[in-house]
Amino acid sequence: MAHTNILDWDFISLLLLSGHLSELNVSGNRLTELPEALGQCRRLTYLNASSNQLAGLPGSLATLQHLREVALSMNRRVGKWLAEEAGIEELPVEPMAFYSCDPPWLGHRGGTTFRVDLPVATRRSDPPAVRREAALRAIAELPQPDITIWSDGSARGGMEQGGAGALIQFHHLNNEETVRAPAGAVCSSLRAELTAMREALAAVAGLEEGELASIKSVRLLTDSRSGLQLLGRGPASQTMALAAEVWRLLNTLAENGTETVLQWVPGHAGLDGNETADRLAGEAAAGDQDSAPIDLSSARAAVTRHVRELSRRRTTAAHPHPDPTPGHDSLARWGSVTLSQLRTGTSPLTRDTLYKIGLAANDECPACGEPDSVTHLLTDCPAHEAARRRRWGVDPRLVDVLGGPAARVVDFIEGVGRTEPPLDPPAPPPP
Ligand SMILES: [Zn+2]
């Protein structure tokens, strides 16, 4: 549904209610909000809402257990909202790179080479000595540089407490320098790696003019293949401000007439320079993070974690029986989806849900007129007293119903005829 000028969310809400959608793409519309009904899409794993005008996300997203990826780029106001939700609004937010760092007519002038493999391929499972040997051979094949940079980034769990470290060897001066920089309290591994490259390249590009002029060759050795692959797409393709900044520095070196080779090397293979950079990155990660900016993709990862945690808490709190309902996994698809919705207290089969998302005029139970809810349907509604007693005895509690066999719950729903959302009756035709 990308670029389709979605106007009528009611129609889409109905689709979502089916609970069968696993991926949804509504990018490129002019949406200012997403419907709460998204929370009904229990199987949603991927949501792309990029390039809209969103200022926030519906709270119901937090209940989606399977949601793994939310794409939200190019929504001007959503970044601030995300940061607030994740409790990271105090940190400086990095602007996105909306334009490339190089005028397109200049193109890529050369002088920068990316090598994401070794001449002799290695595997992660190879012993360190084998990988070390292959890496040393690759390094030996590179032109003898004036400067060698070993850069490395680290982020705890790949998500937080980022640190960047680099060892810079000035071969012509026969000395070396170390660089440490925090990469952010909320930080991906990729970001930590790119921060390390930026800090090291900035140190080289910032040399005094006379000194810089004598640097004809730089090699940067990193164990971040994804970082090199991202940069290797060229300066015009960078959307991360940090990556664009790395390219700006690479271009500064190229303009200086410096040949720069960025070579991938295996990590944790006993390479001295890599080990040193790794240690420096670890030290930087432990330092003060407040000054390091946070980018949208790291913020997004933080929010996804936050949302998942919320969802876990909500399920536990809202549901008196956090243990799985026995036999849930062997239900057919419809039954399984329906039971999940009942367990979280939000089901399209009850009027309170429909009322909340604007698909019903009120929350009255279609069978008895009392306020409808999962608890009402399963344990209280007087209209289903007999059907209920046959399955769970007199006055069962919700914990008895959801703690009993899953097939019995589905059987009850079918038995009382509540298999479709109880929508309002159609309006009478105009006279
Ligand atoms: Zn009722």
Same domain, 195 and 256: yes
Same domain, 174 and 258: yes
Of residues 67 and 338, which shows the higher confidence score? 338
Average pLDDT, the chain: 79
- Ligand 1 centroid–CA 227 distance in Å is 58
- Ligand 1 centroid–CA 350 distance in Å is 10
Instruction: Quote the CA–CA distance of 159 and 295 in Å, as a whole number.
Output: 12
pLDDT at 10 over 90: no
pLDDT of 85 reads 55
- Ligand 1 centroid–CA 105 distance in Å is 69
- Ligand 1 centroid–CA 295 distance in Å is 49
Distance of CA 211 to the CA centre of its chain: 43
Of residues 57 and 418, which shows the higher confidence score? 418
- Ligand 1 centroid–CA 377 distance in Å is 6
Using a pLDDT cut of 90, give the percent of the chain over it.
29
Using a pLDDT cut of 70, give the percent of the chain over it.
74
- Within-domain flag for 207: yes
- Ligand 1 centroid–CA 12 distance in Å is 28
Q: Where residue 310 sits, what CATH number does that domain have?
A: 3.80.10.10
Of residues 158 and 369, which shows the higher confidence score? 369
- Ligand 1 centroid–CA 315 distance in Å is 24
Q: Worst-scoring range by mean pLDDT, 19-28, 256-265, 272-281?
A: 19-28
- Within-domain flag for 411: yes
Answer yes or no: pTM beyond 0.75.
no
pLDDT at 102 over 90: no
Q: Where residue 262 sits, what CATH number does that domain have?
A: 3.30.420.10
pLDDT at 277 over 90: yes
- Within-domain flag for 105: no
- Neighbour count for residue 255 (Cβ, 10 Å): 11
- Ligand 1 centroid–CA 72 distance in Å is 40
Same domain, 74 and 193: no
pLDDT at 403 over 70: yes
pLDDT of 15 reads 58
Question: What SS3 state is found at 73?
Answer: coil
pLDDT of 22 reads 77
- Ligand 1 centroid–CA 420 distance in Å is 15
- Ligand 1 centroid–CA 384 distance in Å is 8
- Ligand 1 centroid–CA 370 distance in Å is 6
- Neighbour count for residue 324 (Cβ, 10 Å): 13
**The CA-based dihedral angle spanning residues 48, 50, 53, 58, taken in that order and rounded to the nearest 10 degrees:** 30
pLDDT at 357 over 90: no
pLDDT of 9 reads 54
- Ligand 1 centroid–CA 323 distance in Å is 27
- Ligand 1 centroid–CA 354 distance in Å is 15
Same domain, 192 and 268: yes
- Ligand 1 centroid–CA 7 distance in Å is 34
Same domain, 285 and 311: no
Same domain, 175 and 237: yes
- Ligand 1 centroid–CA 61 distance in Å is 28
Q: Which domain holds residue 150?
A: 112-292
- Ligand 1 centroid–CA 154 distance in Å is 56
Distance of CA 106 to the CA centre of its chain: 34
- Ligand 1 centroid–CA 408 distance in Å is 19
Instruction: Quote the CA–CA distance of 189 and 274 in Å, as a whole number.
Output: 16
- Ligand 1 centroid–CA 365 distance in Å is 5
Of residues 127 and 194, which shows the higher confidence score? 194
- Within-domain flag for 254: yes
Same domain, 205 and 274: yes
pLDDT band at 110 (very low <50, low <70, confident <90, very high): very low
Question: What SS3 state is found at 204?
Answer: helix
- Within-domain flag for 2: no
- Within-domain flag for 100: no
- Within-domain flag for 366: yes
pLDDT at 153 over 70: yes
Instruction: Quote the CA–CA distance of 311 and 326 in Å, as a whole number.
Output: 21
- Ligand 1 centroid–CA 341 distance in Å is 18
- Which helix (H) or strand (E) is 195 found in, with range? helix 189-205
- Within-domain flag for 429: no
Same domain, 146 and 196: yes
Task: Give ion ligand 1 contacts, CB < 5 A.
Answer: 365, 367-368, 381
Instruction: Quote the CA–CA distance of 294 and 149 in Å, as a whole number.
Output: 25
Nearest to 284 by CA among 426, 417, 353, 187: 187
- Ligand 1 centroid–CA 413 distance in Å is 13
- Ligand 1 centroid–CA 368 distance in Å is 4
- Ligand 1 centroid–CA 42 distance in Å is 25
- Ligand 1 centroid–CA 242 distance in Å is 57
- Ligand 1 centroid–CA 44 distance in Å is 30
Same domain, 276 and 349: no
- Ligand 1 centroid–CA 369 distance in Å is 6
Same domain, 170 and 274: yes
Q: Tens digit of pLDDT for each residue in 308-344?
A: 555 555 455 545 556 788 888 889 888 998 998 898 8
Helix axis angle, 189-205 to 241-255, nearest 10°: 30
**Domains identified in the chain, total number:** 3
pLDDT band at 207 (very low <50, low <70, confident <90, very high): confident
Same domain, 383 and 287: no
Same domain, 121 and 15: no
pLDDT at 193 over 90: yes
